[in-house]
Amino acid sequence: MTEYQDSIIQSLNEYGFQRILRMKGSCHDALIGELINWWLSQDIDGMICNPARGSKSSSRRYFADLLFLEQFQGFDYYEVKGVAEIENNQEKLIDKIKSLASYENYVKRGSKAYPNLQFAVLCYTLNVPNDELAQKIYDEIVEVSEDSSLLWIVCEIADSLRSEGEPYRIYMPNYVRGYDYFYYTRNFSSVILYTIKKGKQIGDITVPSTKNRSAH
Residue-range domain boundaries for the chain: 3-207
User: Is the pLDDT reported for residue 214 higher than 50?
Assistant: no
Q: Is the separation of the CB atoms in 182 and 168 below 8 Å? A: no
Percentage of the chain surpassing pLDDT 90? 60
Question: pLDDT value at position 188?
Answer: 82
The amino acid that residue 193 corresponds to is L
pLDDT tens digits, one per residue of 139-185 = 999 999 999 999 999 999 987 655 444 555 555 555 555 555 556 66
Inter-residue contact 7 to 200 (CB < 8 Å): no
The pLDDT value given to residue 176: 54
Residue type, 201: Q
> Cα–Cα–Cα angle for 158, 164, 165, nearest 5°?
120
pLDDT at 163: 45
Would the CA dihedral through 77, 114, 8, 131 be positive or negative?
Answer: positive
Q: Peptide bond before 173: cis, by omega within 30 degrees of 0? A: no
Question: What pLDDT, on a 0 to 100 scale, did the predictor assign at position 215?
Answer: 43
- Residue 184 has a pLDDT of 63
